[in-house]
Each structure stands twice: as structure tokens, then as C-alpha cells.
Amino acid sequence: MNRKTPKEKLMTYLILFVFAVFFIVPMYVLLSTSLKTFANVSIQTMWQLPSEYSFAGFVEAFKELAPNVFNSFYLVIPATLISAMLGSLNGYVLSHWKFKGSDTLFALILFGMFIPYQSVLFPLVQFMQTIGLYGSIPGLILVHVVYGLPITTLMFRNYYKDVPKALTEAAKVDGANIFSIYRYIFFPISIPSFVVVFIWQFTNIWNEFLFAVTLTKTQSQPITVALVNLAGSQVVQWNVQMAGALLTALPPLIVYILFGKYFIKGMLAGSVKG
């Protein structure tokens, strides 16, 4: 699909443009509101550019958010790596080293992602207290890893599923074991899938609020708690709140830019699949 007529090219760019607008409009509102003074923020003036530009929102938001950034990195990086790694191994085993009952096991793992988190908060807090991890970031890491496993397992399993079984069998004949086949055959071709999983886990854990607020104490609160705390109980300063949201979204954005490269390069060897 590389050779295109000018008409097709025009169509392509038209579609991309329309969607770009759809994606940009809310961000425009977000950005212009964050640059307004509090007194100028209202639904009425939402489409207008700020009458006077003010960075007060960003300054205020940065001041409040900065102390919690470290907590978030400390939480998100291990949680993302561990859940992706375990998910990859799970997916590999469940697609290429099946055993009796492994399909049922997969179904049971998968089901775990649909658990409504609000309904398990009480037992969860009690359990975390029992094992002594309540109020700490490691506890939060554990929770995010566990509840992330179903999704990461699913993504990797469905990605590995298309790798021909013959490949595994041939490697076995050559004397490779379960680990070396993973290490030398599966891991290297998993990069696009890892990218997708990293993006998902990083963003979700980064933005997650419910666990973050119930399982931490003041000293260990991640950035989302600080972001929500920018609001007062009655009055919400939307300029500060939106500036804060943009600042908070920067690390995931950087992750997209860093990892997104691997999509562009298309570095997967085409011969493995299809």
C-alpha cells in the first residue's frame, strides 16, 4: 500500500487532519484554561484564549506536585517492569508450554482484570495491613503488579500465539530449554508488545487514584493524589487543576515519545510471524 495516487494521499491527510482536530480541541481548552487567571475561568469563556496570560496556575501546581513526583517514579517504574516481565513469561508459558488445565488457568487469570476495585477496598486495606505493607509504596507496587497481571498476560499471550509452534519444537530438539527459548527466540521479538504493555501499565499506574489514595500515607502519596488535592473541597481552581494535569501528563508523554520510536522503526523481523 505504498504507491498512492494524489487523490488517495489527499484523503489520507484529510482523515488524519480531521482526527487531529478531534484530538486537539479538548487539549486546546485544557491548555488555554491553564494559562488563565482564576477569575477569568468559566464555561462561558472556555473557547477564548486568555485575555491575560498567567503562569500562576503552573507555578502553583508545580509547587504542590513536585514533592510527590519521586514517589510516583518509585512506584511506576518497578511496577511496570515487574508486571510486564511476569506478563510476558505468563503469556509465553500459556501459549507455548500448555499443560493440562492451562487454558482454564488462563481464563481464571484473565477474569481478574474485571474485578471492580471499589468493592475490594476494605478487604484489601485489611490484607495489606496484615502483611505489613499498608501505607508504603512497595505495598502499592505489589497491588499494581497483581492487578496488572491479567492484562499483561493477555496481551503477551495473544501476541505469542501466532509464533509457529514448529519454532519451539525445533529449538527443543536442539536441546534448548524453556528459559533459553524464551530468552533467544521470544524475548527479542516481543519489543512491539513490550512497548504496548509499557505504555498501558505506565500510564495506568501513573494516573491511578483509588489505590494510591487508600493504600498510602502522606509521605508516600504519588502525584495523582497531589493532583486531586489541588482542588478545594468546595471551590476548584480550574486553571491550577488543568495546569497540574498537563504537568502530571508529561512523564507518560515522554514514555510515548521514547517507546513510540519502536513502532516507527518497525524493527520486528517479518519472517517470524504470518
Partner 1 sequence: MEGFYMKRKHKESLTSLAILSPSIITLAIFVYGFIGRSVQISLLDWDTFTKFIMGAKDYVGLENYIGLFQEERFQTDLWNTLYFTLFFILGCLAIGILLSLILNNKPKGSYFLQNLYLFPMAISFVVTGTVWRWIFSPGRLPNDPRGINLLFERLGLGSLQWGWFTSTFSFLNFNVALIAVIIAAVWQFSGYTMAMWLAGLRGIDQQLIEAARIDGASKWQIFTQILFPIQKPITLSAIIVLAHVSLKAFALIYSMTGSGPNNVTDIPAVYMFEATFRSNRYSTGSAIAIVLLAMVGLLIIPYLVNSFKEE
Partner 2 sequence: MLLKKSALLSVILMVTLMFVFSFSALAQNENEVEIFSWWTGGGEEEGLNALIDVFNENYPNIEVINATVAGGAGANAKAVLKTRMVGGNPPDSFQVHGGAELINTYVETGMMEPITGLLEEWGVKDKFNQQILELSSYEGEIYSIPLNVHRGNVMFSNKQVLAEHNIEPPTDMESFLTVLEELSQTDVVPLALGDTNKWTATHIFETILVAKLGAEGYNGLWNGETAADDPRIREAFVYFDKLMQYVNEDHSALTWQDATQMVRDGEAAFNIMGDWAEGYLKTLGWTPGKQFGWLTVPGTKGTFMVITDTFGLPKGAPHPENAKKWLKTVASLEGQDTFNPIKGSIPARLDADKSKYDVYLTDSMNDFAKNTLTPSIAHGSAAPEGFITALNDNINGLVTTGDIEGSFEEFQKDMAEYVR
Q: In whole angstroms, how close is the CB of 260 to partner 1 at the nearest point?
A: 6
Closest by alpha carbon to 30, among 254, 252, 239?
239
> For residues 233 and 245, what is the distance between their CA atoms, to the nearest angstrom?
18
CB of 6 or CB of 270, closer to partner 1: 270
Q: In whole angstroms, how close is the CB of 114 to partner 1 at the nearest point?
A: 4
Number of H helices, E strands in the chain: 12, 0
> For residues 75 and 207, what is the distance between their CA atoms, to the nearest angstrom?
11
CB of 106 or CB of 197, closer to partner 2: 197
> For residues 69 and 77, what is the distance between their CA atoms, to the nearest angstrom?
12
Q: Which stretch binds partner 1 (CB under 8 A): 61-69, 73-81, 132-140, 263-271?
A: 263-271
195 binds, among partner 2, partner 1, none (CB under 5 to 8 A by kind): partner 1
What nine digits make up the cell of 42? 468559566
What nine digits make up the cell of 16? 488524519
249 binds, among partner 2, partner 1, none (CB under 5 to 8 A by kind): partner 1
29 binds, among partner 1, partner 2, none (CB under 5 to 8 A by kind): partner 1
CB of 27 or CB of 66, closer to partner 1: 27
50 binds, among partner 2, partner 1, none (CB under 5 to 8 A by kind): none
Grouping H, G, I as helix, E, B as strand and the rest as coil, residue 117 is: helix
Longest dimension (CA), the chain: 73
273 binds, among partner 2, partner 1, none (CB under 5 to 8 A by kind): partner 1
CB of 99 or CB of 217, closer to partner 1: 99
Chain length of the chain: 274
b/e 144-166 (16+ beta carbons within 10 angstroms → b)? bbebbbbbbbbbbbebbeebeee
Contacts to partner 2 by CB under 8 A: 38-39, 42-44, 78, 82, 121-122, 125-126, 129, 132-139, 141, 177, 179-180, 183, 213-214, 217-220, 225, 228-237, 240
252 in Cβ contact with 73 (< 8 Å): no
76 binds, among partner 1, partner 2, none (CB under 5 to 8 A by kind): none
Of residues 190-229, those binding partner 1 (CB under 8 A): 192-193, 195-196, 199-200, 203, 206-207, 209, 224, 227-228
Task: Give the position of cell 515487574.
Answer: 82
233 binds, among partner 1, partner 2, none (CB under 5 to 8 A by kind): partner 2
In 3-state terms the chain splits into helix, strand, coil percentages (rounded to 5) of 75, 0, 25
Site map for partner 1, 124-163, x if CB under 8 A? x--x--------------xx-xxx-xxx-xxx--xx-xx-
**Count of Cβ atoms closer than 10 Å to residue 259 Cβ:** 17
